[in-house]
Amino acid sequence: MEKIIKIIAEELNIKEKQVEATVNLIDEGNTIPFIARYRKEVTGGLSDEILRELGERLTYLRNLEKRKEEVLKSIEEQGKLTEEISKSVADAVTLADVEDIYRQYKPKKKTRATMAKAKGLEPLANIILTQEDIRPIELIAQKFVTNVDNVENTISKDKIVANVEEAIAGALDIIAETISDNPIYRKKIKSICYREAIINVRASDLEEKSSYEMYYEFNESIKTLPSHRILAINRGEKEGILKVKIDKPEDKILNLIQKDIIKRNTQFETYLISSIQDSWKRLIEPSIDREIRSDLTQKAEEKAIKVFGKNAKQLLLGAPIKNLTVIGFDPAYRTGCKIAVIDETGKVLDTTTIYPTQPQNDIENSTKILLELMNKYDVNIFAIGNGTASRESEIFVADVIKKAKQELNKDVHYAIVSEAGASVYSASKLATEEYPDINVSLRGAISIARRLQDPLAELVKIEPKSIGVGQYQHDVDQKKLSESLTGVVEDAVNKVGVDINTATPSLLQYISGINKTIANNIVKYRDENGKIKERKELLKVPKLGKTAFEQCAGFIRIPDGKNPLEITAVHPESYEIAEKILDKIGYSKEELKDKEKLKKIKMELLKINISDTAKELKIGEITLKDIIDELSKPGRDPREDMPKAVLREDILKFEDLREGQILTGTVRNVTDFGAFVDVGIKHDGLVHISELSNSYVKNPSDIVSVGDIVKVKVIGIDMDKQKVKLSMKI
């Protein structure tokens, strides 16, 4: 365990004490959000991102140690374990290294070498390898040829060596496999390949048009190949459009093996060279190719999952638009645009379908219906889905807003909302339970409206990978993606906190310590007993015991409860400290509800000497700062600091774009080659990584995040493809 702790500390550039303390907390059953928020003193203030990375590496390294034990046990049972092997296994840093060492001891299926060994040709292979016998090879091999006249008829055919040529061929097969199984050769060969190999991509059909045309004649060093290209090439190959080959420095690799094996000029040299070449072509190269491709893919997937996770977290933490009545507008053509009116609490007031787009083009009647809804429900804003027919719908809504200003004297805006996953949600069991009497097609409009009001509460209802802010998310390991994104959602939900009396089960189940069963039990308890008045009442919920309560309590919010501290993130274990702090400045917790007194409380809290007070109250300074911070802003939503949605009144036409034009847009997606920005035209414009900043940018997510509002300059317009290139170098 000491070794694992040291490795993780070096990799994450943190202290070994921090790693050890965190591992203990994880092993005790504490969740990452709980550790990140309420055990900062123990971990030294490690963030949730580092804690999750630490947890992943801990799992990997523990699995690595377990595999090492299994391999050593297997080799020992074969009676072949030596101190050298034990040291090699102990020094291995990856599972691949361990498997390379184990390769020569691993029970094999039927191979040319195992068949040759069954014929008793291993001693001949050893003679050839040692190169000490001076007799002609044919003479040596003759002793291994089966004398059919002198053997019993019961001997099986696969044990017979018919002639000298067969004996030599079998011995060379054994040598070829021995070379292939040598972990030192494999390690050196892989090292050479990772430094010097080139990925060579060609089109299956040069005449075929596809989205992979940049890869039709493509070469790049695997050392510099970025993750998005790896995943794109993989997808193109899978679809049969691309052919992929890895070009390696073959002469250098063969010379490496030959120098080690061929001791001097002997009658065995030609045979050994032949065996080395056979080992390379038939056994090593295909295996190395698979390993390299697998390794490149794994690293690319890990990068893609991280990018997806970062984007998803930003989207989940998007600023809510509160106290507004919203019309959710789900665009379509033939089937009509679905409309849902949602009040400021998220309640559905009305639904309908209009047909302002092709083929009906019923602009007049559709306008009339929307104006009536806007007037009846005092609508403030439209949330328009960004899918099919979004552009036409946006133009239509902009015209309706103008008429509303003229005829109803109402100032109404609209915002474009990602509708990724809305159709998946609409047909889900959860949507059916929430809206049993509303048609499936109309549920998408409800989801779009509520995403604008509260992105987090709505997006947790959708499978994370369907949120639509990733990079090749459907091509990566789905289990790893799911695990990573579940962690991202947990961190986002716990950062914001949850109103226990209004939250749905889909939101509650992401709270630290609460699973799906407990989430449903909370809702059932709420339905049967009315509003929950204080956090400790949760202990009455079936299956929510003391351990789960400790993990979840601090993330629960009760705005109108008995205890004013329960609209903050102050954990019940710190209530006494919080009251002592308030008492120290001459206030009580009840006065946190008084807006005028709260201003004075904030001023007094700022005057507190952290060091002296921490000693006086016998708590850590980090914990004290967190409690003071929470008392200064009871009930405040941390998402208020996030960029707000861009609200529009009028449309920007693609034809109006000019190079050099400065626009304001919203970052919709961040990849490792740039960022996609919505500037109000049909397709998001791309800010390539080279255009994100005047200085060198290694990672786009260091510069921008999903949801950021940015100023961009138009630097390229493709009228045919309706695409625009943007720059943030303004």
In this predicted structure, the answer to whether residue 469 has a pLDDT above a threshold of 70 is: no
Domains of the chain by start residue, with CATH: 2-76 (1.10.10.650), 112-304 (1.10.3500.10), 326-453 (3.30.420.140), 527-641 (1.10.150.310), 654-727 (2.40.50.140)
**Among the ranges given (135-149, 326-340, 528-542), the one the predictor scored with the smallest mean pLDDT:** 135-149
Mean pLDDT, residues 217-228: 92
d(CA 280, CA 193): 13
Mean pLDDT of the chain: 91
d(CA 504, CA 500): 9
Place of tokens 């710190």: 574
Name the residue with higher pLDDT: 228 or 509.
509
CB count in 10 Å sphere of residue 455: 26
- Please report the pLDDT score of residue 236 as a whole number: 93
Of the pLDDT bands very low, low, confident and very high (cuts 50, 70, 90), residue 345 is confident
- Please report the pLDDT score of residue 357 as a whole number: 94
Give yes or no for a contact between 685 and 675, defined as CB atoms under 8 angstroms apart.
no
C-alpha 21, offset from chain centre: 26
Give yes or no for a contact between 10 and 19, defined as CB atoms under 8 angstroms apart.
no
Mean pLDDT, residues 575-594: 93
- Please report the pLDDT score of residue 678 as a whole number: 86
d(CA 65, CA 2): 12
Burial status of residue 659 (CB atoms within 10 A of its CB: 0-12, 13-18, 19 or more): exposed
Mean pLDDT, residues 1-12: 93
What is the rounded end-to-end Cα distance, in angstroms, of the chain?
52
Residue 515: closest CA among 540, 551, 463, 539 = 551
Angstrom distances, CA of residue 349 to CA of 370, 373, 422, 456, 692 = 14, 10, 19, 21, 43
- Please report the pLDDT score of residue 609 as a whole number: 94
- Please report the pLDDT score of residue 622 as a whole number: 94
Give yes or no for a contact between 704 and 675, defined as CB atoms under 8 angstroms apart.
yes
Q: Residue length, the chain?
A: 730
- Please report the pLDDT score of residue 112 as a whole number: 93
Omega within 30 of 0 (cis) for the link into 359: yes
Mean pLDDT, residues 675-693: 88
Q: List Cβ neighbours of 589 (8 Å cut-off, separation of 6 or more).
A: 563, 564, 565, 578, 579, 582
Report phi then psi at 727, rounded to 5. -140, 145
State the DSSP string of 708-722: -EEEEEEEEEETTTT
In this predicted structure, the answer to whether residue 153 has a pLDDT above a threshold of 70 is: no
- Please report the pLDDT score of residue 158 as a whole number: 77
- Please report the pLDDT score of residue 314 as a whole number: 85
Mean pLDDT, residues 552-564: 95
Give me the residues paired with residue 670 across strands. Answer: 675
Q: What one-letter code names the amino acid at 519?
A: A
What whole-number percentage of the chain has pLDDT above 70?
A: 98
Q: What's the per-residue H, E or C state across 10-59?
A: HHHCCCHHHHHHHHHHHHCCCCHHHHHHHCHHHHCCCCHHHHHHHHHHHH
**Among the ranges given (147-151, 334-338, 586-590), the one the predictor scored with the smallest mean pLDDT:** 147-151
Residue 23 exposure: Cα atoms within 13 Å on the Cβ side? 19
- Please report the pLDDT score of residue 282 as a whole number: 96
Rounded to two decimals, the pTM is 0.80
Mean pLDDT, residues 587-593: 91
Residue 550: closest CA among 8, 17, 39 = 39
d(CA 452, CA 418): 9
Please give the torsion angle defined by the CA atoms of residues 95, 97, 103 and 109, in that order, rounded to the nearest 10 degrees: 40
Mean pLDDT, residues 415-420: 86
Instruction: Express each pLDDT in 276-329 by its tens digit.
Output: 999 999 999 999 999 999 999 999 988 888 888 888 888 889 889 888 999 999
- Please report the pLDDT score of residue 330 as a whole number: 95
- Please report the pLDDT score of residue 646 as a whole number: 73
User: Strand, coil or helix: what is 269?
Assistant: helix
Residue 391: closest CA among 93, 684, 79, 28 = 684
Mean pLDDT, residues 470-495: 82
In this predicted structure, the answer to whether residue 479 has a pLDDT above a threshold of 90 is: no
Strands 242-247 and 198-203: antiparallel
d(CA 557, CA 555): 7
- Please report the pLDDT score of residue 472 as a whole number: 66
Report phi then psi at 141, rounded to 5. -70, -30
d(CA 94, CA 91): 9
Instruction: Express each pLDDT in 50-68 by its tens digit.
Output: 999 999 999 999 999 999 9
d(CA 47, CA 286): 42
Q: What's the per-residue H, E or C state across 336-377?
A: CEEEEEECCCCCEEEEEEECCCCCCCCHHHHHHHHHHHHHHH
In this predicted structure, the answer to whether residue 216 has a pLDDT above a threshold of 90 is: yes
Strands 326-330 and 381-385: parallel
In this predicted structure, the answer to whether residue 651 has a pLDDT above a threshold of 70 is: no
Name the residue with higher pLDDT: 468 or 723.
723
Residue 36: closest CA among 47, 21, 22 = 47
**Exposure string over 391-409, b if 16+ CB within 10 A, otherwise e:** bbbbebbbebbeebeeeee
- Please report the pLDDT score of residue 473 as a whole number: 67
Mean pLDDT, residues 502-531: 94
- Please report the pLDDT score of residue 446 as a whole number: 95
In this predicted structure, the answer to whether residue 602 has a pLDDT above a threshold of 70 is: yes
- Please report the pLDDT score of residue 654 as a whole number: 80
Residue 330: closest CA among 470, 491, 181, 446 = 446
Residue 60: closest CA among 343, 379, 349, 298 = 298
d(CA 92, CA 186): 13
- Please report the pLDDT score of residue 183 as a whole number: 92
Mean pLDDT, residues 231-248: 94
What whole-number percentage of the chain has pLDDT above 90?
A: 71
Give me the residues paired with residue 376 across strands. Answer: none
Give yes or no for a contact between 347 and 381, defined as CB atoms under 8 angstroms apart.
no
In this predicted structure, the answer to whether residue 468 has a pLDDT above a threshold of 70 is: no
d(CA 549, CA 544): 6
C-alpha 662, offset from chain centre: 33
In this predicted structure, the answer to whether residue 152 has a pLDDT above a threshold of 60 is: no
